[in-house]
Amino acid sequence: MSVNFAESAITSEKELREIVGVPHQNVVHKTISIIDDHCKNFISKSPLFFLATAGAHGHCDVSPRGDSPGSVFVLNDKQLVIPDRPGNKRLDSIMNILENPQVGLLFVIPGLDDVLRINGQATIIKDETILDQMSLKGKPPLLGIGVDVEEAFIHCPRALKQSNIWDYESWEDKATLPTLMEIFQAHLKINGVKING
């Protein structure tokens, strides 16, 4: 079944606010424009964050980034650097940043339902002095993503609480799930790629 979303689309902020309402002033004013000590502490304890980017034509990408806690290097109260470790060479985030520097970051600490959100302007850097400080097992990242921070704020725990993400008893049994390779090969087949063996 195909749905025409335009038939019930909301097309103005006025209409949206009539349905949802307006945020409390404290929610509006919780956003800061610096990386304060609380943000630095949160980032230093986060082994996982999500990087959101969009290309020049609006095509979006969200990439999970996992590393040891503190791998994101806070330069000062307005700038941080993300190490770009070697991967599959798709470079989805990097290519988007070349076209559109606006990025969003969402930092997660295992067991904690609150998340830290940071938005800003990104630049792909190759400054060896900075990259050497983010070495992993003696190897610096090939590139870094420098972010000039524009907004930082703590986000309420509702989504993570509702999802029971940290409650291992609610987790799906891995034996019932397809493996990465099964999904990967199925998607290759959809795209007409023949798989040997």
CA 133, 90, 103, 47 torsion: positive or negative?
A: negative
- In a structure prediction context, what are the per-residue pLDDT tens digits for the chain, which is 197 residues long? 999 999 999 999 999 999 999 988 888 889 999 999 999 999 999 999 999 999 999 999 999 999 889 899 999 999 999 999 888 889 999 999 999 999 999 999 999 999 999 999 999 999 999 999 999 888 999 999 999 999 999 998 999 999 999 999 999 999 999 999 999 999 999 999 988 76
Helix residue ranges per DSSP H, the chain: 13-20, 25-28, 37-44, 92-99, 128-131, 158-163, 180-190
Alpha-carbon gap, residue 74 to 163, rounded angstroms: 30
- CATH code of residue 112: 2.30.110.10
- The reply to whether 2 falls in a domain is no
Q: What is the pLDDT of residue 37?
A: 97
- Domain count across the chain: 1
Report CA-CA distances (Å) from 91 to 38, 63, 101. Answer: 31, 10, 14
Global confidence as pTM: 0.91
4 within domain boundaries: no
Q: Could you tell me the sign of the dihedral formed by the alpha carbons of 169, 175, 176, 179, in that order?
A: positive
Q: Is residue 179 part of a domain?
A: no
- Domain coverage including residue 29: 10-163
Confirm whether 186 is domain-assigned. Answer: no
Contact partners, residue 74, CB within 8 Å, separation at least 6: 35, 40, 43, 44, 80
Q: Which residues pair with 102 in a beta bridge?
A: 121
